Amino acid sequence: MKRKLLVLSVVVMMVFTLVLSGCSSGSKTAAVDPLADGVLSIGVDDTYLPMEFRNDQNELVGFDIDFSNALAKELGVKPEFQTVAWDGIFNGLNAKQYDVIISSTSITPERQAGFSMSDPYVANGIVLVSRKDAAPVTTFKELEGKTLGAQIQTTADIAAEKLKTQDGVNVEIKKFDGMLDAFAALQGKQIDNVITDYGVAMYYVAQNPDLYVVSSDILTNEPIGITARLEDTAMTKTINTAIKKLQDNGTLTEISMKWFGKDMSTNIDKNLVVIE
């Protein structure tokens, strides 16, 4: 009898363990909709004119801010912005400090592998910017013996390091926390050139047409998308539908015209040409 009771007890414990294990496994894999609380929490680096920055009243403004507000309205949720330095923005996303990054994130194969990237909402590539009082640099090889400013850990920074080694160019690459500092250094002749996104370059040139010039062709094709965590693919699909609506109804064109003076939000070339 004792043996039978022992066997029965073991069987019951095994069944109980399997049930608990099944419940535990289910809870780990259950998908959680980040939009279920009615809020889209957005990580943004607020030093990247004209995409996201602080105006004279310390208000958060820019292309991405207008776009985020329009996107949240389309999704039927409230946008909440969290400012964070660019060099920690992806870690913050993975740590679930916010739901998405809407901060001029170029779509690259590496980011597509590590995150859930949306469809592009604005065209982009990197370019070289020169001062007008100096000989314009049209190719990366012409940076030989010069100094080049880049925002740290951006695709422009990564491309500059890659091209420096690949082409054997003796160029000193100076890293800046934000493009405001990089362009201030260019204006003050502390560096010779800047490498940055096309939209950013065009904005600075438009603000100071007698000082700066975009001197190179567009060196890459890396359109900008929204970055979510790798597991949040369902949310990304919902976001893609909303992006398409904003493109079709002209909202994105209107925002693009406001900040760039041209439509960079439709007919976007999705064939990536990235230096990484």
Contacts of 232 by beta carbon, 8 Å cutoff, 6+ apart: 34, 99, 116
58 and 109 both lie in a single domain: yes
How do 147-151 and 172-176 pair as beta strands? Answer: parallel
115 and 158 both lie in a single domain: no
Among 206, 208, 160, 161, residue whose Cα is nearest residue 184: 208
Burial class (CB in 10 A: 0-12, 13-18, 19+), 143: buried
The residue range of the domain holding 43 is 39-122+223-260
173 and 144 both lie in a single domain: yes
SS3 226: strand
Amino acid 11 reads V
Whether 67 is covered by a domain: the verdict is yes
Amino acid 159 reads A
55 and 188 both lie in a single domain: no
pTM of the predicted protein model: 0.84
50 and 89 both lie in a single domain: yes
54 and 117 both lie in a single domain: yes
Supply the pLDDT for residue 31.
Answer: 60
Half-sphere exposure of 261 (CA within 13 A, CB side): 10
Among 24, 27, 62, residue whose Cα is nearest residue 42: 62
Contacts of 151 by beta carbon, 8 Å cutoff, 6+ apart: 48, 86, 157, 175, 176, 177, 178, 179, 182, 196
- pLDDT (tens, 9 = 90+) of the chain, 276 residues, equals 333 333 444 444 444 444 444 444 343 344 689 999 999 999 999 999 999 999 999 999 999 999 999 999 999 999 999 999 999 999 999 999 999 999 999 999 999 999 999 999 999 999 999 999 999 999 999 999 999 999 999 999 999 999 999 999 999 999 999 999 999 999 999 999 999 999 999 999 999 999 999 999 999 999 999 999 999 999 999 999 999 999 999 999 999 999 998 999 999 999 999 998
Whether 273 is covered by a domain: the verdict is no
Q: Give the C-alpha separation, 195 to 178, whole Å.
A: 12
In contact, 226 and 101? CB cutoff 8 Å: yes
Total structural domains within the chain = 2
Specify the CATH number for the domain of residue 177: 3.40.190.10
Whether 176 is covered by a domain: the verdict is yes
SS3 268: coil
Supply the pLDDT for residue 261.
Answer: 87
Supply the pLDDT for residue 15.
Answer: 41
DSSP 8-state assignment for residue 79:
E
Report how far Cα 122 is from the mean position of its chain's Cα atoms: 11
117 and 232 both lie in a single domain: yes
97 and 148 both lie in a single domain: no
Whether 28 is covered by a domain: the verdict is no
Whether 60 is covered by a domain: the verdict is yes
Whether 74 is covered by a domain: the verdict is yes
Residue after which a domain boundary falls, among 183, 214, 245:
214
How do 60-61 and 52-54 pair as beta strands? Answer: antiparallel
Supply the pLDDT for residue 4.
Answer: 37
What are residue 256's phi and psi, to 5 degrees? -65, -45
169 and 240 both lie in a single domain: no
